[in-house]
């Protein structure tokens, strides 16, 4: 991994230091989170849009254990270290921090984002982190949705193609 990418992957403690300095400099911090299993064009567009709302973008990445708790025992397909590295190589992403919880609340309290961006396929009222974002002074923004580009849909298409090829 390049040193530039490796410097973007930070612990929660290091992220706290970075955020304290960023807030002191009055930088607009944007936060998003997710599993990012099978990085695809929908993710790339969504992260670029999120980054455009501020001076820096922090991505909270669900750990392998967290993904299994949310998505089931067959996920993630890609280990967290590789998912973190892929995200760190994107120009739109400034920092990546892995978290074990099933929600990003604890990380949001560290980041204290001005904007919390979620994918366009969500209902804001149903975002579990909404109270934490608002308590930290942030606002939720729903990014544009890229139809038929969710990881689950891609997995389904691959499995269907595989099954059809075998018959």
> What CATH architecture does domain 3-166 belong to?
3-Layer(aba) Sandwich (3.40)
Contact between 80 and 39 (Cβ < 8 Å):
no
pLDDT computed for residue 122 by the predictor: 80
User: What CA dihedral angle connects 129, 132, 103 and 94, to 10 degrees?
Assistant: 90
pLDDT tens, position by position, 109-120: 999 999 999 987
Taking a C-beta distance cutoff of 8 angstroms, is the pair 107, 97 a contact? yes
Query: Quick one: pLDDT at residue 164?
Result: 76
- Nearest CA among 126, 128, 145 for reference residue 60: 128
Asked whether the predicted pLDDT for residue 12 surpasses 90, the reply is yes
Task: Give the position of tokens 């849009």.
Answer: 49
Instruction: Return the pLDDT at 13.
Output: 98
* Residue 10 clears pLDDT 80, i.e. is over it: yes
Token pair belonging to 33: 């989170």
Cβ proximity of 103 and 128 under 8 Å: yes
Entry pTM: 0.89
Domain chopping of the chain, boundaries:
3-166
Answer whether 72's CB lies under 8 Å from 155's CB.
no
What average pLDDT score do residues 70-87 get?
94
Phi, psi of 3 (to 5 degrees): -65, -30
């Amino acid at each position: 991994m390049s040193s530039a990418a490796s410097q973007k992957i930070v612990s929660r403690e290091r992220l706290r230091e970075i955020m304290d300095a960023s807030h002191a400099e009055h930088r607009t911090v944007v936060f998003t989170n997710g599993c990012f299993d099978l990085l695809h064009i929908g993710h790339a567009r969504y992260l670029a849009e999120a980054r455009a709302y501020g001076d820096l973008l922090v991505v909270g990445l669900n750990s392998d254990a967290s993904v299994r708790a949310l998505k089931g025992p067959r996920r993630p397909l890609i280990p967290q270290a590789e998912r973190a590295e892929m995200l760190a190589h994107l120009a739109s992403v400034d920092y990546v921090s892995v978290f074990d919880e099933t929600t990003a609340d604890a990380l949001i309290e560290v980041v204290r984002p001005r904007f919390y961006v979620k994918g366009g396929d969500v209902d804001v009222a149903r975002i579990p982190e909404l109270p934490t974002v608002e308590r930290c002074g942030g606002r939720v923004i729903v990014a544009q949705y890229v139809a038929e580009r969710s990881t689950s849909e891609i997995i389904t298409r691959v499995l269907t193609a595989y099954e059809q090829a075998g018959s």
